[in-house]
């Protein structure tokens, strides 16, 4: 997060989550008026594994600003941002959704508190609620930690990268030890 791009009035921000499984879905919602002042836009499955490849999230932040919501909403993603991003935009969340990060268990309406001066983000759920949601994800079997509703063609090369990719906090590089042997 680039703190210089955050207005002082929103250094502490609490709001309900609006969750999207892709950048495209978030953009459609922003432009369609489904995101309103006070919302925390959550875009997941855009990290190194989930994307795969970690897309830049410039469009959602640009459209929030153009809709007059740049100082009225927050955005949290496991995707990445460039130097052109402004507003309360938190990216590179690790572990990402596709690696079992808590960003994967956030649901629409969950309250999220962001405290930039104290470097904190809190999903306001009990430990029991978090554990139950993680268990529900695991119960999806081979579909665990994948988007529930997203159509995206992914090439063989990107699927191979995703199977070897480390989290953003580890550089989003290929971990050859995952190859075995």
Return the active site residues: 82
Q: CA triplet 164, 50, 80: central angle to 5 degrees?
A: 100
Cα torsion angle, 91, 92, 96, 101, sign: negative
Token readout for 99 is 């690696």
What are the Cα distances from residue 81, in Å, to 65, 143, 146?
15, 27, 22
CA 105/CA 93 separation, integer angstroms:
13
Task: Say if residues 53 and 114 touch (Cβ distance below 8 Å).
Answer: no
List the beta strands (DSSP E) in the chain: 12-20, 40-43, 74-77, 88-90, 111-115, 120-123
């Amino acid at each position: 997060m680039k703190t210089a791009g955050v207005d002082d009035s929103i250094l502490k921000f609490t709001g309900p989550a609006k969750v999207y499984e892709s950048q495209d879905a978030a953009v459609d919602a922003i432009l369609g008026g489904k995101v309103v002042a006070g919302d925390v836009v959550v875009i997941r499955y855009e990290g190194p594994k989930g994307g795969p490849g970690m897309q830049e999230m410039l469009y959602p932040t640009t459209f929030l600003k153009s809709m007059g919501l740049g100082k009225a909403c927050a955005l949290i993603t496991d995707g990445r941002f460039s130097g052109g991003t402004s507003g309360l935009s938190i990216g590179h969340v690790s572990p990402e959704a596709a690696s079992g990060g808590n960003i994967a268990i956030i649901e629409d309406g969950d309250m999220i508190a962001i405290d930039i001066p104290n470097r904190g983000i809190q999903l306001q759920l009990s430990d029991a609620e978090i554990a139950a949601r993680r268990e529900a994800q695991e119960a999806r079997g081979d579909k665990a930690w994948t988007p529930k509703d997203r159509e995206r063609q992914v090439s063989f090369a990107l699927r191979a990268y995703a199977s070897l990719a480390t989290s953003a906090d580890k550089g989003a590089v290929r971990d050859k030890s995952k190859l075995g042997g």
